[in-house]
């Protein structure tokens, strides 16, 4: 299989297969989670300011007091790479065009220079977070294979996409094919790894806040 055939496969059957696994996997995990059910809380609700699902989402989206100072790389680097990743994924013109071709929805894109800068900043932030996780004994001890694998799955599409746009390392056709393949690997693995928090983080915070808010306990 030459480079053009490889690119054609990953843009066609490979992408279709990855999307199928991604959609079915996400649906299965969501049904599995939300289908567990909970017993009805018959106790009288206690109304306490700040004890609610939405308040918990807002509170948990910011670092707890003192943690930003004690672990700045984790929080600052984490915010930078999450925001940067969202910018690159959702505001890069070819990505917007792909979504438009798949589902017929489009929105304005950012200039390529802005996306290029955001990609580099995001990759630097991800490397900083990785190094911090490795050099800090406690973080390294608590880290599992799933943490390192999730980082790699997220980093590879950024790296290969940037290299393809910059026409570096490998011929453009091959690098673009590798970029698309890395995205497909991310899609296939996302529902079954820690990356699934993209679909559950806000929902779990809202649920915990609502349940504890019913008891008058802000979390």
Q: Is the pLDDT of residue 136 over 70?
A: yes
Q: How far apart are CA 17 and CA 165, in angstroms?
A: 25
Residue 37 lies in a domain: no
CB 96 within 8 A of CB 107: yes
Mean pLDDT of 69-96: 92
Q: Is the pLDDT of residue 36 over 80?
A: no
pLDDT band at 37 (very low <50, low <70, confident <90, very high): confident
What pLDDT score does 176 carry? 95
Residue 49 lies in a domain: no
Alpha helices in the chain (DSSP H): 3-11, 13-34, 53-60, 67-70, 72, 78-91, 93-103, 112-135, 137-142, 145-166, 172-189, 197-214
Average pLDDT, the chain: 89
Residue 79 lies in a domain: yes
Q: How far apart are CA 106 and CA 85, in angstroms?
A: 18
**89-97: long-range pairs with CB below 8 Å, 24+:** 91/115
The larger pLDDT score, comparing residue 26 to residue 65, is at 26
Residue 14 lies in a domain: no
Residue 148 is part of which domain span? 74-200
Q: Is the pLDDT of residue 1 over 70?
A: no
What pLDDT score does 22 carry? 96
Residue 98 lies in a domain: yes
Residue 103 corresponds to which tokens in the numbers above?
């589902």
DSSP state of 50: T
Q: Which residues contact 138 (CB under 8 A, 6 or more apart)?
A: none
Number of domains in the chain: 1
Residue 204 corresponds to which tokens in the numbers above?
């779990």
What pLDDT score does 192 carry? 94
What pLDDT score does 123 carry? 97
pLDDT band at 52 (very low <50, low <70, confident <90, very high): confident
End-to-end CA distance of the chain: 55
Q: pLDDT tens digit string along 84-126?
A: 999 999 999 999 999 998 888 999 999 999 999 999 999 999 9
Q: Which three-class secondary structure state does DSSP give residue 110?
A: coil
Q: Which residues contact 81 (CB under 8 A, 6 or more apart)?
A: 122, 125, 126, 129
- pTM for the full model? 0.87
Question: What are the b/e assignments for 189-198, b being 16+ CB within 10 Å?
Answer: bbbeeebbee
The larger pLDDT score, comparing residue 119 to residue 214, is at 119
Q: In Å, how far from its chain's centre is CA 162?
A: 18
What pLDDT score does 219 carry? 75
Residue 91 lies in a domain: yes
Residue 30 lies in a domain: no
Residue 215 lies in a domain: no
């Amino acid at each position: 299989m030459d480079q053009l055939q490889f690119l054609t496969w990953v843009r066609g059957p490979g992408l279709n297969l990855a999307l199928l696994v991604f959609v079915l996997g996400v649906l299965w995990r969501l049904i599995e989670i939300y289908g567990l059910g909970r017993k009805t809380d018959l106790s009288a609700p206690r109304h306490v300011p700040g004890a609610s699902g939405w308040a918990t989402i807002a509170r948990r989206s910011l670092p707890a007091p003192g943690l930003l100072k004690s672990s700045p790389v984790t929080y600052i680097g984490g915010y930078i790479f999450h925001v940067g990743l969202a910018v690159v994924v959702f505001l890069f013109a070819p990505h917007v065009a792909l979504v438009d071709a798949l589902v017929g929805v489009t929105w304005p894109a950012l200039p390529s220079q802005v996306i290029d800068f955001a990609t580099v900043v995001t990759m630097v932030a991800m490397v900083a977070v990785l190094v911090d996780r490795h050099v800090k004994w406690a973080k390294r001890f608590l880290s599992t294979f799933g943490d390192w694998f999730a980082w790699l799955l997220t980093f590879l599409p950024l790296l290969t996409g940037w290299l393809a746009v910059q026409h570096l390392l490998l011929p453009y056709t091959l690098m673009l094919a590798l970029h698309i393949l890395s995205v497909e690997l991310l899609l296939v693995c996302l529902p079954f790894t820690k990356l699934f928090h993209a679909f559950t983080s806000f929902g779990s915070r809202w649920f915990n806040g609502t349940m504890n808010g019913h008891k008058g306990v802000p979390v």
